Amino acid sequence: MLAKKQVCVVLPAYNAAKTLERTYAEIPRDVVDDVILTDDASADQTIALAKRLGIHCIAHDRNRGYGGNQKTCYRAALARGADIVVMLHPDYQYTPKLVTAMASMLASEEFDAVLGSRILGVGALAGGMPVYKYVANRALTLYQNLLLGHKLSEYHTGYRAWSRHLLERLPLLACSDDFVFDNQMLAQAIYFGFRIGEISCPTKYFPEASSINFRRSVVYGAGVLRTSLQFRLQRMGLRQCPLFAQARDTRPADALERAA
């Protein structure tokens, strides 16, 4: 707990048995009150291992996609009383040791969201990020900063922390169930005026760490371009998009509950 705020770490998992224990062991339990793992119909022993470690588990009966997994994570975290939710991949690509720093930035109430950036500093390429992914990251981030009228070092990190206030108000059901969910959610946060902070985060690329292949990366990139264009057209009043059309007082946590 930080500043009397309950901190929850959510682990959206898919075939994470090889890396889950290392990830969980480094989560700072002195500040984290709750850990939730949502398993997206893994074919390995992810759920069995999570239960052995004492993690609260939710198992999908079918694969719902990366975005669908996160929707379950956030719904469960809010239902269990979280004030701060840190989304951490259980593949050990991002260090759990930064959970305290990210949660503290939210506990200060100076930010509504915090991103663990691989681009701040020199961690991305040094940690093994493929060059083509680094170049694509920089190009897409430049494009998004221009179209969204914001300034972030990257829009594509999978290490994110959110306030309860933000999660209760973003229209998350309008977001994709696929990998572009991350980008759409961040675009929504910017559109509705939430305050976003960043922290430098080292990253590790190794065989057991999950990473989408080149084809899926191209699909993701196309989704990013489309999301940014939808954002700009909505801002200009030229086209309505469901991602940005709902009022800020909508409570997607309740909507997610009804859709579960």
Give me the pLDDT at residue 122, please.
73
Domain at 7-259: CATH code:
3.90.550.10
- Token pair, residue 63, equals 């694969």
Q: Where are the alpha helices (DSSP H) in 9-130?
A: 20-25, 46-52, 65-79, 99-107, 123-126
Q: Is the pLDDT of residue 250 over 50?
A: no
Break the chain into its structural domains and give their ranges: 7-259
Going by C-alpha positions, the residue among 64, 193, 195, 32 that lies closest to residue 75 is: 64
Give me the pLDDT at residue 132, please.
86
Burial 104-123 (b: 16+ CB within 10 A, else e): bbbbeeebbbbbbbbbbeeb
Which DSSP category does 40 fall into?
-
pLDDT tens digits, residue range 186-224? Answer: 999 999 999 999 999 988 887 766 667 788 889 999 999
Which residues face 114 on adjacent strands? 161, 197
d(CA 150, CA 171): 20
Query: What mean pLDDT do residues 85-111 have?
Result: 97
Q: How many CA atoms lie within 13 A of 16 on its CB side?
A: 25
Q: Is the pLDDT of residue 256 over 70?
A: no
d(CA 14, CA 16): 5
Query: What mean pLDDT do residues 46-71 have?
Result: 97
Q: Is the pLDDT of residue 249 over 70?
A: no
Q: Is the pLDDT of residue 139 over 70?
A: yes
Q: What is the DSSP string of 66-84?
A: HHHHHHHHHHHHHHTT-SE
Considering the chain, what percentage of its residues have pLDDT values greater than 70? 92
d(CA 257, CA 260): 5
